[in-house]
Amino acid sequence: MQTARTLEVLRNSLSVLRRDGGRVALVPTMGALHEGHLTLVRRAKEAADQVVASIFVNPRQFGAGEDLDAYPRQLQRDSELLEAEGVALLWAPTPEEVYPQGYATNISVAGVSEGLCGGDRPGHFDGVATVVCKLFNQVMPDMAFFGEKDWQQLAVIRRMARDLDLTRPHVDAIHGVAIVREEDGLAMSSRNAYLSEGQRASAASLPRAMKDAIAVLAEGGQAERPLGNLREVLQVSGFDSVDYAEIRDADSLERLEADNGNARLFVAARIGGTRLIDNMPVSRTA
Ligand SMILES: Nc1ncnc2c1ncn2[C@@H]1O[C@H](COP(=O)(O)OP(=O)(O)OP(=O)(O)O)[C@@H](O)[C@H]1O
Ligand SMILES: CC(C)(CO)[C@@H](O)C(=O)[O-]
Ligand code: BAL
């Protein structure tokens, strides 16, 4: 596996990679890799001839007071994991390489970025859209893979790709991969590493409480009561706060008061300073 840390090396490596004319898939990550990320790589390998993975802890998507400095960085370990999965090229730039002196451009996607994580983390999705657009332009992949754990992020990226005519990684070639979970149901996430043993045990109540709420939502009626119960269960189970617990249309991300036949449940909750997110279908189609 080649590793590129500058745009010059990336371009040279890509031109070698493209010599055989195969299809190239991009898997963007922020590193601290787990089975969720490796599943994206495996899906990418099945669909493309060559996989390029990126690791970049993007400062522009972290707000003031968020965990930019604490975010786990383990490039050596990550690079061994990616190599073992057969990744051809790792793109791991420095912040200066991505945002050189004088950098001044921002991409902002309206609508789908509003509310949920966009409400709690102002500017977050501008940072995500900006860096993903740059990654697409740098790597020019034929397709890209993102996890459904970050469902709203996937919606923002699809909207941006469509709006900005990012024609090679166009909307049909932006693949969402189902959430990979631990045995007790907790969605895998690099931030799970922040949890103490006790917090980790409590964290499993998040997917359980979501399933219980969905069972009630699926019976019909207004969402208010099951979502209220979910908040209470999380607080009793050791969560410090719930940022949001909402049902939304799975595609438009419009807020719903009841199941519309294409609804998903979205939750973000904090436990000991760690913010966990999850989402699940309410309707069978969502
Ligand atoms: N459990 C998971 N299942 C499926 N995809 C995942 C999972 N966790 C992360 N991903 C996907 O991997 C890609 C890179 O995510 P990232 O590096 O931010 O990891 P993360 O575990 O989501 O970290 P964080 O704790 O920052 O949310 C994203 O497309 C994300 O949706
Ligand atoms: C898509 C992404 C790599 C952009 O920095 C990041 O938001 C992530 O890891 O989900
Ligand atoms: N997985 C999404 C990246 C973030 O939380 O910043």
Taking the C-alpha atoms of residue 104 and residue 254, their distance in angstroms, rounded to an integer, is 31
Kindly state whether residues 101 and 195 are assigned to the same domain: no
Domain presence at residue 216:
yes
Kindly state whether residues 23 and 165 are assigned to the same domain: yes
Closest C-alpha to ligand 2, atom 10: 29
Please report, for the domain that includes residue 250, its CATH number: 3.30.1300.10
Give, for ligand 1, the residue of 33, 175, 190 to mutate: max count of ligand atoms closer than 8 Å to Cβ. 190
Per DSSP, 25 falls in state E
Please say if 170 is a catalytic residue: no
What type of residue is 190? S
Kindly state whether residues 77 and 157 are assigned to the same domain: yes
Kindly state whether residues 159 and 274 are assigned to the same domain: no
Domain presence at residue 286:
no
Domain presence at residue 223:
yes
Please report, for the domain that includes residue 125, its CATH number: 3.40.50.620
57 alpha carbon, closest ligand: 2
Kindly state whether residues 194 and 173 are assigned to the same domain: no
* Number of domains comprising the chain: 2
pLDDT for res 218:
85
120 alpha carbon, closest ligand: 3
Kindly state whether residues 112 and 220 are assigned to the same domain: no
Kindly state whether residues 8 and 141 are assigned to the same domain: yes
Kindly state whether residues 173 and 204 are assigned to the same domain: no
192 alpha carbon, closest ligand: 1
Kindly state whether residues 140 and 208 are assigned to the same domain: no
Can you tell me which residue has the tokens 């190239």?
Answer: 24
What is the pTM (predicted TM-score) of this model? 0.97
Closest C-alpha to ligand 3, atom 4: 61
pLDDT for res 210:
98
Can you tell me which residue has the tokens 């509003």?
Answer: 114
pLDDT for res 60:
98
Q: Is 85 in the pocket of ligand 3 (CB under 6 A)?
A: no
pLDDT for res 171:
58
Of 114, 149, 177, the last residue of a domain is 177
Q: Is 150 in the pocket of ligand 3 (CB under 6 A)?
A: yes
Closest C-alpha to ligand 1, atom 10: 147
> 20, 165 in Cβ contact below 8 A?
no
DSSP percent split of the chain into helix, strand, coil, nearest 5: 45, 20, 35
Kindly state whether residues 162 and 214 are assigned to the same domain: no
Taking the C-alpha atoms of residue 92 and residue 135, their distance in angstroms, rounded to an integer, is 11
Burial of 95 (0-12, 13-18, 19+ CB in 10 A): middle
In a structure prediction context, what are the per-residue pLDDT tens digits for the chain, which is 286 residues long? 999 999 999 999 999 999 989 999 999 999 999 999 999 999 999 999 999 999 999 999 999 999 999 999 999 999 999 999 999 999 999 999 999 999 999 999 999 999 999 999 999 999 999 999 999 999 999 999 999 999 999 999 999 999 999 866 665 699 999 999 999 999 999 999 999 999 999 999 999 999 999 999 988 889 999 999 999 999 999 999 999 999 999 999 999 999 999 999 999 999 999 999 999 999 888 8
Indicate which atom in ligand 2 lies nearest the CA of residue 132.
4
E strand or H helix at 79: helix 75-84
What type of residue is 220? G
37, 124, 170, 175: the active-site residue: 37
Range of the domain at 234: 190-281
Tell me, in angstroms, the distance from the centre of ligand 3 to residue 56's CA. Answer: 11
Kindly state whether residues 11 and 121 are assigned to the same domain: yes
Kindly state whether residues 168 and 85 are assigned to the same domain: yes
Domain presence at residue 221:
yes
Q: Which of 147, 148, 171, 176 is nearest to 161 (CA)?
A: 171
127-130 CB contacts, 8 Å cutoff, 24+ apart: 127/58, 127/59, 127/60, 127/61, 127/62, 128/58, 128/61, 128/153, 128/156, 128/157, 129/156, 129/157, 129/160, 130/60, 130/105, 130/106
Spacing of C-alpha 230 from chain mean position: 23
Tell me, in angstroms, the distance from the centre of ligand 3 to residue 193's CA. Answer: 14
Tell me, in angstroms, the distance from the centre of ligand 3 to residue 77's CA. Answer: 20
